[in-house]
Amino acid sequence: MSTPGTARPSGADTVPLSVRGAAAWSWRLLLIAAGVAAIVWVLGQLKTIAVPVAIALLLTILLAPMRRALENVRVPRGLATALSILGLIAFVTGLVVLAGQSIVNGFQDLWDQAVAGFQEFLDWLSSGPLGLDTASLDDLTQEAQDLVAGQTSTLISGALGAATTVGHVLVGVIITLFCTIFFLQDGRTIWTWVVNLLPVGARERVHQSGRRGIVTLSSYVRTQILVALVDAIGIGVGAAFFVPSLAVSIGILVFVGSFVPILGAIFTGAIACAVVLVAEGWVSALIMLGIVLLVQQAESHILQPFLMGHAVSLHPVAVVLVVAAGSLVAGIIGALFAVPLAAVLNTVIQYLHGHDKFPELGTDDHVPLLRRPTRADLPGTLLWVNRPGASAGEDGTAATAAGPGPTTGGTDDTDPPATR
């Protein structure tokens, strides 16, 4: 029984402080998770647009040094942008042509070896411990043919789906090329417009954090190109000892696949071993496997810690988990963009929380802040200073708008410094 003059504690007061803290954290984390899920869902619905824009951003970072180098020799920016993009297209086209010629020249030999190996396998089934006779083998072959014939509708629908995918790819290529051109030409203007969409108090911090995020992304792109090149040369040279006609194609495949951290190297290395297995047999395939493992171990223990770790500041465990999560959410596209996205977010969030990974950048670079129009600048209103018939003495409002008062941007705290 409470004594007179003392208030009975409420139910909320009896909840321990630790439980209150856990509850406060819980609903905030749930809101953050819901927001992230909503963003991922929207990006999934707009992947035909979002993925090309992301690729265009990476290509812009890759081509920006070339454009700057051309501008340093007094090439106009528009022409420098065009030459940079044409150089990239020529490089990619050269790789495709080179790989295509290598595949055409060596595919027939590889196909003949694969057919001979399959025939040898059939002979082993009939003369080996299984002792299958010719009739049994013919029955198995017929069943396989019937299975393929029964899946005709599935194959047709898959072909139609592939045609739709090709259409999406073409649209994506056009969007990527279009965005890359304007990112290279007017990237600063686009970024200024984006920053000015934010509240005035947040613009400077967002701009500075964005600068550091771009530096991180640039470091990732350059480092990943170097790592992919080392993988491609190492595995390609190893494959040249067993399948010389396909060594260039394998090297190009490894180079492209290495842009997916960890998983890409494993997948492309497995393809290289499978090709050698078909062409030369088990012993050569085991030797090729040793070469692949040696190259990947050198990458993991030498290149990755010194280069990639410094570029993105992510622990290898974090890289593995991020790639796995990205692949689960968005497949190969998620695996490709998971690490650079995580690296940029890591840099930006740390800067917003007071830790600057790139203090040498300083804070002297600013975007021009756009002045908010006042009512005196809006046509059709009574306060429009340029409306027909308006004069300083017509009414008080017009005189105030026309005079050098606060409406022209001098004392309002919301006006940017550039207009003061």
- What is the DSSP track for 201-240? HHHHHHHHHHHHHHHHHHHHHHHHHHHHHHHHHHHHHHHH
CA distance linking residue 334 with residue 342, whole number of Å: 11
Q: What is the token pair recorded at 67?
A: 């454009």
Count CB-CB contacts under 10 A for residue 415: 18
Per-residue confidence (pLDDT) for residue 135, from 0 to 100: 65
- Residue 140: left if φ>0, alpha if ψ -120 to 50, beta else—which one? alpha
Q: What is the DSSP string of 247-264?
A: HHHHHHHHHHHTTSTTHH
pLDDT in tens, 82-127: 999 999 889 888 877 776 666 666 666 656 665 665 666 666 666 6
3-state secondary structure of 197: coil
Entry pTM: 0.65
Token pair belonging to 83: 């030459």
Q: What is the 3-state secondary structure (H, E, C) of 314-337?
A: CCHHHHHHHHHHHHHHHHHHHHHH
Distance between alpha carbon 204 and the CA centroid of its chain, in Å? 25
pLDDT at 306: 64
What pLDDT score was predicted for residue 320? 77
At 214 the three-state DSSP class reads helix
How far is residue 88 CA from its own chain's centroid? 18
Do the beta carbons of residue 334 and residue 327 sit within 8 Å?
yes
Q: How far apart are the C-alpha atoms of 344 and 218, rounded to whole Å?
A: 10
Q: What is the pLDDT of residue 34?
A: 93
| Residue 132 contacts residue 125 (beta carbons within 8 Å) | yes
The Cα 80–Cα 74 span in angstroms is 9
pLDDT digits (tens, 9 = 90+) for 230-250: 888 888 888 888 888 778 878
The rounded distance, in Å, linking the Cα atoms of 262 and 300 is 9
Size (the chain), residues: 420
Q: What is the per-residue DSSP string for 17-73?
A: HHHHHHHHHHHHHHHHHHHHHHHHHHHHHTHHHHHHHHHHHHHHHHHHHHHHHHHHT
CB 375 within 8 A of CB 383: yes
> What is the pLDDT at residue 70?
92
For residues 251 and 232, the answer to whether their CB atoms sit within 8 Å is: yes
Cβ pair 234, 298 in contact under 8 A: yes
What does the pLDDT look like over 192-215, one tens digit per residue? 899 988 888 888 899 999 999 998
| Cβ pair 194, 251 in contact under 8 A | no
Answer whether 178's CB lies under 8 Å from 57's CB: no
pLDDT at 110: 59
Under 8 Å between Cβ of 347 and 213: yes
Give me the pLDDT at residue 29, please: 93
Residue with token string 């970072």: 61
Rounded Cα distance between 179 and 356, Å, is 30
Is the CB of residue 85 less than 8 Å from the CB of residue 92? Answer: no
Q: How far is 341 from 289, CA to CA, in rounded Å?
A: 32
Q: Which residues of the chain have pLDDT under 50?
A: 1, 155, 159-160, 162, 377-378, 380-385, 387, 390-420
* Burial of 371 per CB tally in 10 Å (0-12, 13-18, 19+): middle
Q: Specify the pLDDT at position 246.
A: 78
Question: C-alpha distances in angstroms, 113 versus 25, 90, 291?
Answer: 63, 34, 22
Three-state DSSP class for residue 303: helix
